[in-house]
Amino acid sequence: MTSLFDRHEVGGLVLPNRVVMAPMTRVRAAAGGLATPSMATYYAQRATAGLIVTEGVQPSLVGQSNPGTPGLHTDEQVAAWRPVTAAVHANGGRVFAQIMHGGRVSHPETTGVQPVGPSAVPAVGDVFTPTGPQPAPVPRALDTAEIPEHAQSYADAARRAVEAGFDGVELHGANGYLISQFLSSNANLRTDGYGGSVANRIRFAVEATAATAAAVGGARTGIRLSPGGTFWGVEESDVPELYAALLRELVGLDLAYVHLEATADEELLLDLRRVWPGTLVVNPTLPMGPKQTGRTEADHWLGLGADLIGFGRAFIANPDLVERLRTGVPLAPVDEATYYQGGDAGYVTYPAYQHTA
């Protein structure tokens, strides 16, 4: 059976193990969406992962979802990321930037502009703003003519990511953000070529991914998906058909991987594994759900045909997670109060395991 500690090739990268550090928002960027020295430390501490996928990085100002998140749409942002990627590489790691357009999950207080979405339907719940949580505003429905520029924004950010030293990018097509909104049947009420039928609802995801693969190469491009997920109030009709159709369209792009979250039952995820012939990353537990991914869940999914396993929260308090999984030593608990509070506490202050006599 495949081991979590076997090598695996992704594009031109040989990963020393099958542990992926999943993307997690930590809101530690400086003003202007700039990466910081602390971010370099944070990711470098976790460079023993087979692959690191960063927190969501906005591809444009209107694409920013939360305050304090980094961007990849200005020259200054590219320059700020270079020490981060250099630090990861110096520690022997590999790192992809997750490109995340928030779409309707944003607020004018955060960006200075009205959020956009496939339709003028607000997200469900409060969004983060510089002055605290506020109800999600009604987004401006994108005109058909301007949709291609938002698809292209992923590709433009991917080019900047490569300039900044990243090994590749992951498009955030999950969790209720812009790509997910287009896949949705209640956030997307369009009657043009981007809404209604399955073929139309997958169109934006396909165009964004194809543009990115054309810009930086399929081997440097992955995409994360949450089949049937209900984050921020999205709903999806025809989930098996929707995601099978999407994966069939993506097969020809020779992507680095597809990254699936366990937002659907195991049977559906296995059906999608059969549709997708390339590298598959699986997050075995629901993001921010009651249970964290551990060795048992990882081994289970490797046995079912996943190639790589995404670990999220376990990486926050365990920078040496790979070694802890290898040796079976206990995982350190995470202080949830420090997830988004800013500063170095609960960010770069977790130590590696200390063996005692």
pTM to 2 decimal places: 0.97
Count of domains observed in the chain: 1
Span 69-79, average pLDDT: 98
What is the spatial distance between Cα 320 and Cα 350, in angstroms, rounded to a whole number?
10
Q: Is residue 42 part of a domain?
A: yes
Q: Which two tokens stand for residue 214?
A: 């054309």
> Is pLDDT of 247 > 70?
yes
Residue 48, Ramachandran bin (φ over 0: left; ψ between -120 and 50: alpha; else beta)? alpha
Q: Which two tokens stand for residue 313?
A: 């929260």
Confirm whether 177 is a catalytic residue.
yes
Residue 293 pLDDT: 81
CATH of the domain at 147: 3.20.20.70
Q: 156 falls in which pLDDT band (50, 70, 90)?
A: very high
Q: Is residue 181 part of a domain?
A: yes
pLDDT digits (tens, 9 = 90+) for 2-27: 999 999 999 899 999 999 999 999 99
Q: Is residue 117 part of a domain?
A: yes
> Is pLDDT of 42 > 80?
yes
Q: Is residue 347 part of a domain?
A: no
Q: Is residue 355 part of a domain?
A: no
Contacts of 256 (CB under 8 A, 6+ apart): 10, 11, 96, 168, 218, 219, 220, 221, 222, 278, 279
> Is pLDDT of 64 > 70?
yes
pLDDT digits (tens, 9 = 90+) for 97-142: 999 999 999 999 999 999 999 999 999 999 999 999 999 999 999 9
> Is pLDDT of 290 > 70?
no
Q: Which two tokens stand for residue 155?
A: 């590709």
What is the spatial distance between Cα 357 and Cα 353, in angstroms, rounded to a whole number?
13
Of 177, 243, 257, 347, which one is the catalytic site residue? 177
* Domain range enclosing 181: 8-338
> Is pLDDT of 357 > 60?
no
pLDDT, the chain, mean: 96
Q: Is residue 346 part of a domain?
A: no
